[in-house]
Amino acid sequence: MNQLEALKQVTTVVADTGDFHELARFAPQDATTNPSLILKAVQKSDYAHLLRDNAARWSGRDLAERMDRLIVRFGCETLAHIPGRVSTEVDARLSFDTEAMVTRAERLIELYQAEGVHIERVLIKVASTWEGIEAARRLQGRGVATNMTLLFSFAQAVACAQARVQLISPFVGRIYDWYKARAGSSWDEAAMAASADPGVQSVRRIFDYYKHFGIATEIMGASFRNVGQIRALAGCDLLTIAPALMAELAASEAALPRALDAEAARALQIEHVQLDEARFRYALNEDAMATEKLAEGIRAFAADAVKLEALMQA
């Protein structure tokens, strides 16, 4: 059994790609996309026809609707290659507008349903701002499952749990990036690897908290920089992994022990946390890494959305 197969024994493996032709190689359960991945995909010759088809079919519609139809098309194509769910992201430029996020999410669901896709096969990705978490709370109440993205802090995870969202995606690699950049030349890669990796530690803390208190929200580690981070989170509910890292796991037959254990988490001594809006905003403000990476992530996804729109109009 290779390490990818071993990982699938303890964790649901999710493909982190907009290139749905790659999915058959690794047989993931679910798949997740974002504007950056779709932007990268549509610039490949294999996917250029999707842009042309979108322009031909929906040329009279406003740009935002055409964007939603394009990403739903990618979602539908992806669902044809996997047995589970696909995550589709609400435009990051709406990350501080609760009403706009709810409206956009509901349109995405309507577009999927018009294509014959059952609502249970779609997760709507929303940025983990306070406004995004409130949007997710409302969507969950209307039967729309949400995937909270751009999550970097324990406070964000607690607020998402309170909102009873379906799933959170803590960004392991981007947390690692921040601490490595801050340390500069003093960073010791070997000493900060695996369980000592700050991104891994962040997910472990969230995992232990959720499992200790019986929180039903799923945890999906995301944004990996190396397979060591993935191995150190074996046993997490889900991990969304880029094809290149899945290939690396598949090439190794070394043992892959479970690293996270829900039963062990239930035996820990952990204090329960309750956050209102003021406490959430203060806690996020106190976490420089999370504050910076959340802002940076929103800017990056928004910039790629603008680039994707430019391609659609070219």
Burial of residue 40 (CB within 10 Å: 0-12, 13-18, 19+) is middle
Residue 129 sits at φ, ψ, to 5 deg, of -80, 170
Cα–Cα distances (Å) from 81 to 24, 189, 238, 264, 270, in that order, read 7, 37, 18, 35, 41
Q: How many helices (H) and strands (E) does the chain have?
A: 15, 8
Residue environment code for 124-159, b if the CB has 16+ CB neighbours within 10 A, otherwise e:
bbbbbbbbbbbbbbbbbeeebbbbbbbbbbbbbbbb
The radius of gyration of the chain's CA atoms, rounded to the nearest angstrom, is 19
| φ, ψ (nearest 5 deg) of residue 130 | -60, -40
Residue 244, SS3 per DSSP: helix
Taking the C-alpha atoms of residue 228 and residue 206, their distance in angstroms, rounded to an integer, is 19
Which candidate in 8, 125, 180, 293 is catalytic?
125
Active-site residue, 125 included: yes
Cβ-proximal residues to 281 (8 Å cutoff; 6+ apart), any chain: 130
Angle between the 63-79 and 35-42 helix axes, to the nearest 10 degrees? 80
CA angle 69, 64, 306 (to 5 degrees): 105
Backbone CA torsion sign across 225, 226, 229, 233: positive
What are the catalytic residues?
Answer: 125
